[in-house]
């Protein structure tokens, strides 16, 4: 299940919520003030290649890591 980032419009709290993809449009309650006036935020992700111990293209088996910040 993906983790979505939210911000409460009432108190400003930012939090994460684990939701199934089918429930991603269901209103989410703020854990701080219990308001359902929350907005889903855009979030970024990162990854590493399983073949290497470091980061970057040199540690990827193909030599071009799709997760490297080149």
Q: In the predicted model, is pLDDT for residue 12 greater than 60?
A: yes
Phi, psi of 21 (to 5 degrees): -60, -30
Q: Does the model's pTM come out above 0.85?
A: no
Q: What is the pLDDT of residue 11?
A: 97
**Is residue 39 classed as helix, strand or coil in its secondary structure?**
strand
Domains and CATH numbers, the chain: 3-59 (2.20.28)
Q: In the predicted model, is pLDDT for residue 15 greater than 90?
A: yes
Q: 24 with 5: CB under 8 angstroms? A: no
Vertex 56: Cα angle to 50 and 60 (nearest 5): 40
* Span 31-65, pLDDT tens digits: 999 999 999 998 666 666 665 455 444 556 566 66
Q: What is the pLDDT of residue 69?
A: 54
């Amino acid at each position: 299940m993906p983790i979505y980032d939210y911000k409460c419009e009432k108190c400003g709290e930012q939090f994460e919520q684990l939701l199934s993809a089918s429930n991603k449009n269901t209103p989410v309650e703020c854990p701080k003030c219990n308001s359902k006036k929350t907005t889903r935020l855009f979030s970024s992700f990162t990854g590493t290649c399983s073949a290497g111990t470091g980061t970057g293209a040199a540690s990827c088996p193909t030599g071009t890591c799709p997760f490297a910040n080149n």
